[in-house]
Amino acid sequence: MATVTLTKDNLEDVIKPDNMVVVDFWADWCEPCKTFGPTFEKVSEQHPDVTFAKVDVEAEMELAQSFGVRSIPTVAILRDRVVLFNQAGALPESDLESVVTQGKGVDMAEVHAEIARQQQAGGDGSAA
């Protein structure tokens, strides 16, 4: 599957309650981002059931800040609008493949129940 460009304008259309999204936060001037790009594309082709999106942090500073991006590249994985993974650094292909597979295997009913418990206890059960 081809990657999509994620912006604040299409965020709601891309990050839907019933899907998984892998996001690459990058910038054109970032050499590690350029190196990671082909890896991101390759793994995206292996998971046609997952949306792979790229955020240009220069054009979408507000969106990057909302995800807590402090350095790039950063990879985030969301399912059902919940951030399951958010890590800075260019991941090797095997690691990216592993976190995507792990994300698919997460019991989201359990995650939503834990978020509800945290919210009831006054904790921060933040979701995207």
Which ranges constitute the DSSP H helices of 27-107? Answer: 31-45, 61-66, 93-105
Q: Are strands 51-56 and 20-26 parallel, antiparallel or unpaired?
A: parallel
Active-site positions?
A: 30, 33
Q: Which of 126, 116, 94, 83 is nearest to 74 (CA)?
A: 83
CB 82 within 8 A of CB 112: yes
Distance, first Cα to last Cα, the chain:
23
| Token pair listed for 92 | 């090797």
Q: Are strands 51-56 and 4-5 parallel, antiparallel or unpaired?
A: parallel
